Amino acid sequence: MDDTWTTRDLPVLDATVGLLEASFMVTVSDIAGRTGLGERDVAAALEALDPVYVDFRKTTTGGDPTFWYVHKVTPEARRAVGQWPTPASLVTRLAEEFSSAAAEERDAERKGLLAYAARLVGDTLRDVAERAAAAVLSPPEGLVPLPEQSGRSRGAAAAAPQRQADGDTDAA
């Protein structure tokens, strides 16, 4: 089985995320132009990426993918292409920055401390650093409802006006 992630899907995802920064939607032909892939390959990639990474919409075109489009990308898509950090990528970058700072430091004591910090964050305490990064990167609890919570709250909110309109005030 061929690897489609690195040769097709990831380049399509990267182009899609980039193009959506400048437009509210992008077509298969826009993405094909950015990646150099054929429209059929781009459409196949978008099919594979939908719904985890993209919201891919097919218009009625008799099977011609030229004007099929992506309406939006998910947070997972932004993390996959590096636009948003993951806990692991953030820890890796921090360790690299500590290491770079150590390489440039002239003071021997600070140089040693920076190199030690790089080793702690990037290796010895990496698991702890990743948990801390996950906590920092996550929205505060209650700020962003989980999908299963938002579905219930919308339904409950929609039902309340109907009950009041029916004269059922005890149900609320």
Same domain for 8 and 75, yes or no, is yes
In a domain, 46, yes or no: yes
Residue 150's pLDDT is 42
The amino acid that residue 104 corresponds to is E
Q: Say whether both 10 and 72 belong to one domain.
A: yes
Q: Please tell me whether residues 98 and 72 are part of one structural domain.
A: no
Same domain, 94 and 72: no
Q: What is the DSSP annotation of 19-54?
A: HHTT-S-EEHHHHHHHH---HHHHHHHHHHHTTTTE
Q: Tokens 């989980």 correspond to what residue? A: 146
> 63 and 12 in one domain?
yes
Cβ–Cβ contacts within 10 Å for residue 91, how many? 23
Residue 168 lies in a domain: no
Asked if residue 88 lies in contact with residue 130, where contact means CB atoms within 8 angstroms, the answer is yes
Q: Which residues of the chain have pLDDT under 70?
A: 140-172
> Do 19 and 75 sit in the same domain of this protein?
yes
Predicted local confidence at residue 79, as pLDDT: 86
Residue 124: domain span:
87-137
Domain count, the chain: 2
The two counts, helices (H) then strands (E), for the chain are 9, 3
Statement to judge: residues 97 and 126 lie in one domain: yes
| Among 48, 12, 54, residue whose Cα is nearest residue 33 | 12
pLDDT at position 50 is: 96
Q: Which residue is it, tokens 């196949």?
A: 44
**Does 38 lie in the same domain as 67?**
yes
Are 69 and 98 within one domain?
no
Q: Identify which of 70, 58, 66 has the alpha carbon closest to the alpha carbon of residue 12.
A: 70
Q: Which residues contact 92 (CB under 8 A, 6 or more apart)?
A: 122
Q: Are 6 and 35 in contact (CB under 8 A)?
A: no
Q: Based on the fold, state whether residues 21 and 41 are members of the same structural domain.
A: yes
Note whether 64 and 8 are same-domain residues: yes
Co-location of 60 and 95 in the same domain: no
CB 68 within 8 A of CB 58: yes
